[in-house]
Amino acid sequence: MELQFYGAAERVTGSCHILRVAGHLLLLDCGLIQGSPEEEALNRELFPFEPADVDAVVLSHGHIDHSGRLPLLVKRGFSGPVYTQHATIDLSLVLLLDSASLAERDADIRRRHATTGRERHAEPLYTREDAQRAVARMRGMEYGETKEILPGVRLRFLDAGHILGSAVVELRITEGGEERTLVFSGDLGQYESPVLRDPETPEKADILLVESTYGDRLHRDFQGTVAELGEIFRTACRECGNILIPAFSIGRSQELLYLFATYYSQWELDKWQVYLDSPMAIEAGRIYWGYPGLLDEEALAFRNNPALLPPLDNLHFTERVEASRKINDIRNGAIIIAGSGMCNGGRILHHLKYNIHRPECRIIFTGYQAPGTLGRKLVGGEKQVSIHGRSYRVAAGIHTIGGLSAHGDRADMLRWMDGFRNRPEVYVVHGDAGVKVSFRNAIEERLQLKVSIPKPGDMVKL
């Protein structure tokens, strides 16, 4: 039995690892690489294995950087099952269809504005039909359920607390009379965060793959985050501007609306009109409330008794493109939540074009921004950026609210790792290079565990 590191071994996105057991080949995730155009072009490269040779995939959760190459895997010959938590199937259908639609639209634009022969024959990475075929291969499991998915390979999912259906993956592997337990963290959420339950730690692991997105920092505490957001809203209101929130459609958007209802009075939201300008986020919200068993106690109480939350009478769902365009006629008093979360596509780009040059406006980032994306450029302080081929001056106030991240910080991840009853051998993945080094040092200092930072292609004998 051996483990080979492939995706997210030198960056955050593109999660994918290869497990070989007794002649069988199993993938942990099959995610899309996100970032600069050069990085995203890597998605078209061949896999380091024959897709038809893959016996099964274990999917930790639905975010595109973990699931987004599954349609391509199927398109190139994979025909096995994809094991995941039940809710992830519903969310994956929404996410992968959206990803395919963007790919189809991009290919169409390149064909219509072609200047080379290659552009005249541009093809999408995959189509909506490919996405549907990938989702059709998914097999749902409950948290805590154990299933033999290959001879000698038993799978169990535990709650990762990241987004709905996100899972910590536990694989108990038996080969040649030896048993090893491999645990893959997937993406871990914060403890005591709203809506979802806290991350669960398995009892033991021999080998642990752990993410490190925010392994070098601590998020602001929750009450500090609430106060910070309130001050941003009050300042923007006094200065008669708009507030733009580039938000991931799955997880972040639902959490934001929950917080808007909870702190409606404290944040003086009655002075604003709130727009959820994302058909995908609107659909995901329906899915979230359809899984009451996955919500934390407080969110479940509000779901079962909506009267406990103030009604958001000033909330507008804008599913149609025409309604989205009309928002840009508003000069002040609008809070606009729109995708994509890293500003690398979607409706948020159009709202930025109308507001980014206005000093009275605010842009609030609540999640990780991959290198090469417009979001990373904005949080990095660039004063001139390009949107749809045109240059824009950045005058709006830029705010990064780490306390709302769906990813746990260093303290959260160390707390999760401290829950193991034994001392696993640790491999740090899914992080920027410097962050992984910082997190490795923290693990070694606090938990006295053996830690490695693998490179793509590195192989470990289990």
β-pair type (16-21, 24-28):
antiparallel
* Residue pointed to by tokens 């395919």: 100
pLDDT at 308: 76
pLDDT at 294: 95
> How many alpha carbons lie under 13 Å from residue 440 in its C-beta half-sphere?
19
**137-146, 369-378, 412-421 — which is least confidently predicted?**
369-378
Residue 27 phi/psi, 5-degree rounding, is: -105, 140
pLDDT at 306: 77
Q: Which helix or strand (DSSP H or E) is residue 316 part of?
A: strand 315-317
Contact 27, 54 (CB under 8 A): yes
pLDDT at 403: 87
Residue 456 has pLDDT above 90, yes or no: yes
Question: Please, what sign has the CA dihedral across residues 430, 71, 114, 392?
Answer: negative
pLDDT tens-place string over residues 297-355: 988 988 888 777 777 889 999 999 999 999 999 999 999 999 888 998 889 999 999 99
pTM, 2 dp: 0.92
Residue 120 has pLDDT above 90, yes or no: no
Alpha helices for 239-389 (secondary structure H): 252-262, 279-289, 297-304, 321-327, 348-355, 374-379
CA distance 190 to 169: 17
Q: Which two tokens stand for residue 442?
A: 């923290």
% of the chain surpassing 70 pLDDT:
100
C-alpha distances (whole Å) from 265 to each of 92, 268, 317, 366, 413 are 35, 5, 21, 21, 33
Q: What angle do CA 207, 85, 449 make, to 5 degrees?
A: 20
Which pLDDT band holds residue 27 (cuts at 50, 70, 90)? Answer: very high
pLDDT at 415: 98
Report, as an integer, the average pLDDT of 239-246: 96
Contact 194, 262 (CB under 8 A): yes
Report, as an integer, the average pLDDT of 117-143: 93
Please report the DSSP string for 371-396 in residue order.
TTSHHHHHHTT-SEEEETTEEEE--S
Q: Which domains does the chain have, with CATH numbers?
A: 2-217+406-461 (3.60.15.10), 222-404 (3.40.50.10890)
Tell me the pLDDT of the chain averaged across its residues. Answer: 94
* Strand spans (E) along 112-188: 138-141, 146-150, 153-159, 167-175, 178-184
Looking at per-residue pLDDT, the higher value among 176 and 172 belongs to 172
Secondary structure of residue 13 in the 3-state scheme? coil
